[in-house]
Amino acid sequence: MVGEKEIQARIAELGDQITADYAGRPPLLIGVLKGAFVFMADLARAIRLPVEIDFMAVSSYGASTRSSGVVRIVKDLDIDLAGRHVILVEDIVDSGLTLTYLRRNLAARHPASLAVCALFVRQGNQKTQEELRYVGFEIPPAFVLGYGLDVAERFRNLPYVCEFTGELSG
């Protein structure tokens, strides 16, 4: 669906845009585990500013290929957000429910600014209209894997993204 070279080229463009937008005010990147770790590592290297990073882990999928709509924080941040310029780094935005929850949660911590950078936005599934400042790719409403995205914790290490058409098995 999206090849390795396309992904790397788009991340370089996002890095350039973030570098220009945050000149003089280095951002704190917050990655949403586990899916965003690959994207965030490449994005951090593409930003030509001193960046800090932290991670949150949330659960809304479990082992399913569909979001339950119920979000719970599994690992919270270690860094105080007050007065910081925060970029929430997401692997994929599907319904937008998890993102809505995370934005409210992070905004309550009083950052100086809060933007979202998502590598993928799945077309047609949004239940909310969240503002996404940086978007890598819009993709069809298929379940995808690779480049950090998984099915049952597998296939995150693929350097490209493809559609998952199989069935979950042990």
Looking at the annotation, which residues are catalytic? 94
Provide the 8-state DSSP code for 112: S
Amino acid at the residue 63: A
Q: Helix 4-21 crosses helix 37-46 at what angle (to 10 degrees)?
A: 50
Token pair belonging to 127: 């239940």
Give the distance between the most distant pair of CA atoms in the chain. 49
Is 44 within 8 Å of 25 (Cβ atoms)?
no
The H or E element spanning position 52 is strand 52-59
Backbone angles phi, psi at 85, to 5 degrees: -95, 105
Q: Identify the residue whose tokens are 């290929």.
A: 65
